[in-house]
A = this chain, B = another copy of it.
Amino acid sequence: MSISSQTMRRLPVYLDYLKQLPRDTARISATAIASALELGDVQVRKDLASVSGAGKPRTGYDTAGLIQTLEDCLGCGEKRQAVIVGAGKLGRALLDYQGFETYGLSIEAAFDQSPDAVGVTDAGKRILPMAALEAFVQTHPIRIGILTVPADQAQQVCSRMCDCGIRAIWSFAPRRLHVPEGVLVQYENMAASLAVLSSHLAG
C-alpha cells in the first residue's frame, strides 16, 4: 500500500470527523465528508479510495468500517516508541501529553544536556542525561526521535539519533536537517504558521 504523505496528513482529519458523528450514522459518503470539512470532493474521494476502495454509489461508506480502516492505516492500535531530545518547556509538554497515544505513539523518555533538567515529570516520565541517549535507544524498540532542542544544536542531535538507529525524526527546531537515506524528517514549523497569521493581519 503506497499512500502519499499529503493524503496521510489528511487521514487524521477524516478520522476525527467520523468519530464525532452521531452514533446512528451508519453510512457516509465522500461528498458529505468533503462538504462538512470544506475540502474538495475529488480530493476526499481519491484519499478514501486509496485507503479503503471506492464507496458504494449513493450510500458511500460503512461509517464504522471506514473508522477502523483509517485507524489501522494510521497505526492507532500499535505502540510506536519514541524519545524526545530537549526537555525544555516544549519538550516536557510533549512528553507529558497523552493525546499522541491515540495515534499509537508512546514517548518513553526525554534527554537533556542540562543536569538540572534530569528527573521525573509530573506524569511520571523520565528525563535522562544526554549521555544516556544511545544506550537507551539501542536497548528499547525506539524508531522515532522528537527534536525539541534549539536550532543551533539540532543537526548534531539529529546525527546522534540517526547513528543509534532512529528511522524517523519529528523536528520542532527551525532548521533544515541532513539525514542518511532511509530516515524521514517531519518538520513541525510553528514559525511558518505564525508567518501566515501575521501576513493575514497585515493585509
Contacts and interface: CB of A to CB of B under 8 A. Distances in A.
Interface of A: 2-3, 5, 8-13, 16-17, 20, 36-38, 73-75, 78, 80, 89-90, 92-93, 96-97, 100, 102-105, 143-144, 151-152, 167-168, 170, 174-176, 184, 186, 188-203
Given A184-B197, A188-B190, A201-B144, A174 B90 contact: no
Contacts of A74: 194-195, 198
A170 B193 contact: yes
Nearest to A89: B93
Contacts of A184: 196-197, 200
A171 to B, nearest CB: 10
B103 A96 contact: no
A32 to B, nearest CB: 13
Contact of A12 (B9, B75, B152, B189): B189
A157 to B, nearest CB: 16
A73 B195 CA distance: 9
Contacts of A103: 191, 194-195, 198
A16 B177 CA distance: 13
Given A93-B93, A97-B90, A192 B12 contact: yes
Contacts of A12: 174, 189, 191-192, 194-195
Nearest to A148: B93
Nearest to A173: B16
A201 B9 contact: no
A191 B170 CA distance: 12
Contacts of A143: 201
Contacts of A78: 198
